[in-house]
Structure 1
Amino acid sequence: MGGADLAAVPEVRHALREMLRHWQEKDSAAVAELLISELVTNALVHTDDGAVVTATIADSRLRVEVRDFVAGVPAPPAPERPVPDDATHGRGLALVRSLADDWGIRARPVGKVVWFELNGEAA
């Protein structure tokens, strides 16, 4: 387990909630909070170097990116197979895959970016 502080997760959720306060698509905003929580938690649990989060709205589409800085990662992670109902881990990318309108993983020279997009209407 990485050494990053998981207290950052609710802070990131709150910042996204404030950003999306005037976004008309309230259901998508709730999904965005869930998905950003999953991606930030993954980045913090699996790294010691933290993460950088960006969120943008353009043309009624929300894009969130979570970048980690793990050197030497041979391949980006793949969504895990379904986990038992009582499992407390292994759901993050599966949730992103099932709830996001689009998503992906982009390798960087150091680390990777996991991103998702949700459709909605800007205020």
Structure 2
Amino acid sequence: MGNPSPNEAGREACAVPAVPATAQLRRRLAKADLRAVSEVRGALREFLRQWGRPGAADVAELLTSELVTNALVHTDDDAVVTASVGPRGLRVEVRDFAGNRPEPRAPDPDDSTHGRGLVLVQSLADAWGVRAHGVGKAVWFELGGGSAA
């Protein structure tokens, strides 16, 4: 129990420094529960209180609500939202359990409420995409930024 041996001290000195932990928000959303859209927005707003560029949290809320709404309206199952903030910025992923891939499309001028979600994501996110999952897919976006000073 005394002082560490030279070998033990050397191992401690050579240890790989810990990578800063990424802050994360995760919510499971019940099938067709559109009340979850505003609940997720509020949770994300609180989560992002100290993050990012001016206005970036507002954009993150908007894009997240679009992806959550798409998952709940266009699938017949639950969804999982994960938001992570790390050194490179914010990543939000909405996973659902349906295999169909969403595609941005030009909004119908006669339909004021449908067809704009992915167009908004495509135009406002720094990056976005769709990743196949074992069952279903994850639609994600990223916004650059960093800690608020």
TM norm structure 2: 0.74
Q: Which residue of 2 aligns with 1:80?
A: 105
Q: Is the 8 A contact 1:68 1:113 kept in 2?
A: yes
Q: Is the 8 A contact 1:60 1:122 kept in 2?
A: no
By relative contact order (CA 8 Å, sep 6+), the higher-ranking structure is 1
Q: Which residue of 2 aligns with 1:41?
A: 69
How far off its partner does 1:87 sit?
1.7
For structure 2, which runs of at least 5 residues remain unmatched after alignment? 1-30
For structure 1, which runs of at least 5 residues remain unmatched after alignment? none
Q: Identity percentage over the alignment? A: 67
The answer to whether 1:22 aligns with 2:22 is no
Q: Which residue of 2 aligns with 1:69?
A: 97
- Alpha-carbon separation, structure 2, partners of 1:85 and 1:19: 36
Q: 1:84-112, CA deviations, whole angstroms, 9 ceiling, x for partnerless residues?
A: 17521111100000000000001112111
> How many corresponding residue pairs?
118
Query: Which amino acid in 2 is paired with 1:105?
Result: V
- Alpha-carbon separation, structure 1, partners of 2:104 and 2:56: 21
The answer to whether 1:114 aligns with 2:142 is no
TM norm structure 1: 0.89
Q: Which residue of 1 aligns with 2:82?
A: 54
Query: Which amino acid in 2 is paired with 1:96?
Result: V
- Alpha-carbon separation, structure 1, partners of 2:135 and 2:50: 35
How far off its partner does 1:121 sit?
1.9
Query: Which amino acid in 2 is paired with 1:100?
Result: A
Report the 3-state secondary structure (helix = DSSP H, G, I; strand = E; otherwise coil) of the residue aligned with 1:41: helix
- Alpha-carbon separation, structure 1, partners of 2:48 and 2:113: 28
Q: Is the 8 A contact 2:52 2:89 kept in 1?
A: no
Q: Is the 8 A contact 2:107 2:114 kept in 1?
A: no
Q: Is the 8 A contact 1:13 1:37 kept in 2?
A: yes
Provide the alpha-carbon RMSD of the alignment: 1.5
Give runs of ≥4 in structure 1 deviating > 3 Å: none
Where in structure 2 are the equivalents of 1:6-21 lying within 5 Å?
Answer: 6-21=34-49
Report the 3-state secondary structure (helix = DSSP H, G, I; strand = E; otherwise coil) of the residue aligned with 2:130: strand
